[in-house]
Structure 1
Amino acid sequence: MNEFPEGGRAGRDDGMGSGWHSPVPPDHPAAALLSAEAVRTRCAVVTDFVASGESELFTWHPDRVHAIADYVAATIRRRYPTLQVPYHSRWRHFESGGPGQATINRWQILCERAGMSGPEHREERARIGIDLVIPSVLLDAGAGPDWRYRDAASDMMLTRSEGLGVASFDLFARGGFSAGQGDPLRSDADRLCRIDASTIASAFQVAQHNPLVGLEGRAGLLRRLGEVMQDTPAVFGSPARLGNLYDYLASHAREGRIEASFVLRTLLVALGPVWPGRLQIQGISLGDCWRHPAAPEGMVPFHKLTQWLTYSLLEPLEDAGLTVTGLDALTGLPEYRNGGLLYDFELMVPRDATFASRAHAVDEPEIVEWRALTVTGLDLIADGVRQALGLSEADFPLARVLEGGTWAAGRRVAAQRRPPGGPPPFAIQSDGTVF
């Protein structure tokens, strides 16, 4: 694949080989699905379908929005009294210190040890940050209820996303994604192509008594990532390194500014083949996109992990001096904490009384519909949260509402309703590539 996402400057020399002309031109039928705008608009169509009473699966109760927004605003004030909320991103998990513990700035420690903390190293630091965060995000599907990771830095047992984040950070810091001796802080395609389930199992302390959901799926994602990198030298260089994505994005910034939608589009097009065999249109993989009868052409995209990755690239890009604009073009993330919050507060209510008592597959119409309602609901909640806090959208973008925020509130209400541990309100069978 030697091509550019639409919006790039086709035919220019990127310093990484030939120009990259989009494999998904504007008139390709897949193009309409590969954007955050498509996520938001098609989820809105599904929401209208449910709100009109046509759905056989859920009912919609927008009168609950105010109560949810107040709960989220109270959660934000408790966690961030000054309202200085960081972005919702993988970087928060790297700071985990365990229950009741102060955060640990592992990234700062790593950069200082590597002699990369000064301003003169900010571009290489961005490359290293991208090298770290992309594999970590791809490894961030639900771990399952029984998995734990003993963190040497805090001597704590970490679970869920925090445990996955620290485990992947430690693997990266040890050179687990590097192909070169003596240069551990990088993610090279040559190494990623050789990752197997046993590598992940060993690094993540998996054992019979400590099972990790989706182990094979996680390893498979990393191998496909390496293969796609090798096939896309215009973005990842040759030999291919994830950190070269920084140079690609920087070359397309205008006066140091780049649109969040361009970053997402780059990732959706360049990394599309990473995702396992799901829906395709004329050879183009649609990734996290599923069927729903109410959506146009019967398909509704979510791009949850790719949007999560875009949010997680904000900090290394900004550290390097780029300004990422248009953050609220991205949507909320339809996963079990955000969606669980809205479900627990009965914004959407299943018509089937047995819905929560059985496990669901990711492609079931019920799960697709619940996720679509979650995307729309998060926009409504964000508006209510800003009103409650007296902040504007510019001051408090969705990336901060999610962090402050809906994700934490989802965990909080789950712990209140389903102690101990606060599991989600219903189970979703995961292969390690969606949730």
Structure 2
Amino acid sequence: MTMYPEEDRGGMDRRGAGEEMRPGGGWLSPVPEGHPASALLCAEAVRTHCAAVTEHVDSGASELFTWHPDRVHAIADYVASTIRQRYPDLQVPYHSRWRHFESGGVDRWQVLCERAGLSGPEHREERARIGIDLVIPSVLLDAGAGPDWRYRDPASDLVLTRSEGLGVASFVLFARGGFSAAPGDPLRADAERLQRIDADSIAHAFQVAQHNPLVGLEGRAGLLRRLGEVMEATPALFGRPARLGNLFDYLKAHAVNDRLDASFLLRTLLVGLGPVWPGRIVIEGVSLGDCWRHPAAPGGLVPFHKLTQWLTYSLLEPLEDAGLTVTGLDALTGLPEYRNGGLLFDFELMVPRDASFAAEPHAVEEPVIVEWRALTVTGLDLVADGVRQALGLAEADFPLARVLEGGTWAAGRRIAAKRRPGGAPPFSIISDGTVF
């Protein structure tokens, strides 16, 4: 990880993302090079540890699943047909939170920028800061909503559910100044304000009521409060006073010829935002976040970093709008959640040995869920290769971020709608609002 010199650019401390700094002056959790947690805080670890679990299952040694790679071809064809239906010209955008902001065919971001006088190339860097202010809290609020929650968009009167509803609800909350501590300047996300957000604030903004329950309400509010605390304690990324949009200046300073590697972006987020996640598995003081135990994985641990990778994908568009090019996108992995993983499960790429598996809800830390998620990561890479072959596209032209959007996530929802009333996932996972 690149180290950098003393403060510059508006009081932002240019210290390296692996350096220890104390609360009130920088990093909340030390993750220097050589720390035993460091090797798990990257996409490469996600891919290699998931591959080890897949090899375990493929060998027949697993008591939980069997593995059927002969199904990859059928899945790839189904995904390719989904892409052709949704994007006949094959011009597929990135899989990101921005797609949810466009729910119902409404380009809410463009409207917001026009109303704020932020259109045009002269405002592109401030647009990026505001885009980061918007998308980070929105992604943290994006865990599964549950089957019964609905959101009525006040602007369009559309009734939205699941990720689309969560996306639009968080967009409206942001546009109204819900994350801003600056009177008269609503389009920002400040540590001071985020630290004051409680479950009632989220419930009101997301139209939660007894007849309209939202899963993981306390968990969502807790994530935003911890986000504010981490921001305030990390001026290296977020400046003083701490604002999420200041992350753009940090990333721009580390771009080389306006090019930024995706692995650097993810590593920055994993180290910088690591303390946001609830304490689960901790190695020498460092919480590993979305990382779980499985005996077949190296060191017995499987990192997924699903929400942080989702956030990385969701930062691509504001960064590119500001003139930065993010390279090496396929270093990132597929996202092991109930749409991507549900697609592979529905097509029987992985088959549970217990025939009653889908009958009961499962906790996220259960070995059977960890194993399913690991198989999903490996399976998505295999399916992505098959999709590119089916579409006649090269990896450079159709990175995983487009395969997911076009794509596996939509195909997972499509097959679920055909197989189960309301399009429910093939099985239920108990969520606290911080993983799915």
**SS class of match (2:122):** helix
- Which residue of the other structure, out of 231, 239, 251, is the alignment partner of 1:249? 251
Q: 1:25 Cα shift?
A: 2.0
Letter in 1 for 2:77: D
- Cα displacement string for residues 195-229 of structure 1 (whole angstroms, at most 9, x for unaligned residues): 00000000000000000000000000000000000
Residue 194 of structure 2 is matched in structure 1 by 192
Residue 15 of structure 2 is matched in structure 1 by 20
Letter in 2 for 1:127: R
Report if the CA contact (8 A) 1:138-1:221 is conserved. Answer: yes
CA RMSD of aligned residues (A): 0.8
CA distance in 1, matches of 2:153, 2:133: 21
Residue 21 of structure 2 is matched in structure 1 by none
2:428 paired with 1:434: no
Report if the CA contact (8 A) 2:384-2:400 is conserved. Answer: yes
Residue 259 of structure 1 is matched in structure 2 by 261
Query: 1:103-252 to 2 correspondence within 5 Å?
Result: 103-252=105-254
Report if the CA contact (8 A) 1:60-1:349 is conserved. Answer: yes
- Which residue of the other structure, out of 32, 37, 45, is the alignment partner of 1:38? 45
Report if the CA contact (8 A) 2:169-2:206 is conserved. Answer: yes
Query: 1:240-389 to 2 correspondence within 5 Å?
Result: 240-389=242-391
**SS class of match (2:103):** coil
Letter in 2 for 1:423: A
- Cα displacement string for residues 49-98 of structure 1 (whole angstroms, at most 9, x for unaligned residues): 0000000000000000000000000000000000000000000000001x
**SS class of match (2:15):** coil
Report if the CA contact (8 A) 2:12-2:238 is conserved. Answer: no
Q: 1:17 Cα shift?
A: 4.0
Number of residue pairs matched? Answer: 423
Query: 1:82-93 to 2 correspondence within 5 Å?
Result: 82-93=89-100
Runs of at least 5 residues in structure 2 that lack an aligned partner in the other structure = 19-29
Report if the CA contact (8 A) 1:14-1:234 is conserved. Answer: no
Q: 1:14 Cα shift?
A: 4.5
Query: 1:21-100 to 2 correspondence within 5 Å?
Result: 21=16, 22=18, 23-97=30-104
Q: 1:10 Cα shift?
A: 3.3
Runs of at least 5 residues in structure 1 that lack an aligned partner in the other structure = 1-5, 98-102
Letter in 1 for 2:68: H
TM-score (norm 2): 0.96
- Cα displacement string for residues 154-176 of structure 1 (whole angstroms, at most 9, x for unaligned residues): 21110000000000000000000
Letter in 2 for 1:209: H
Q: 1:401 Cα shift?
A: 0.1
Report if the CA contact (8 A) 1:14-1:248 is conserved. Answer: no
2:3 paired with 1:9: yes
- Cα displacement string for residues 277-304 of structure 1 (whole angstroms, at most 9, x for unaligned residues): 1111100111100000001110000000
- Cα displacement string for residues 86-137 of structure 1 (whole angstroms, at most 9, x for unaligned residues): 000000000001xxxxx10000000000000111000000000000000000
Residue 414 of structure 2 is matched in structure 1 by 412
Report if the CA contact (8 A) 1:14-1:251 is conserved. Answer: no
Residue 100 of structure 1 is matched in structure 2 by none
Residue 426 of structure 2 is matched in structure 1 by 425
Q: 1:12 Cα shift?
A: 4.6
Letter in 1 for 2:406: G
TM-score (norm 1): 0.96
CA distance in 2, matches of 1:14, 1:29: 31
Report if the CA contact (8 A) 1:61-1:347 is conserved. Answer: yes
Residue 3 of structure 1 is matched in structure 2 by none
- Cα displacement string for residues 335-385 of structure 1 (whole angstroms, at most 9, x for unaligned residues): 000000000000000000110000000000000000000000000000000
Letter in 1 for 2:424: P
**SS class of match (1:200):** helix
CA distance in 2, matches of 1:193, 1:13: 25
Give the share of equivalent positions with the same residue, in percent: 81
- Cα displacement string for residues 13-72 of structure 1 (whole angstroms, at most 9, x for unaligned residues): 443344424232221100110000000000000000000000000000000000000000
- Cα displacement string for residues 366-407 of structure 1 (whole angstroms, at most 9, x for unaligned residues): 000000000000000000000000000000000000000000
CA distance in 1, matches of 2:156, 2:89: 27
Q: 1:431 Cα shift?
A: 0.2
CA distance in 1, matches of 2:162, 2:209: 16
Letter in 2 for 1:416: K
**SS class of match (2:302):** strand
Q: 1:188 Cα shift?
A: 0.2
CA distance in 1, matches of 2:204, 2:271: 32
**SS class of match (2:172):** helix
Q: Which moved more, 1:16-25 or 1:105-114?
A: 16-25
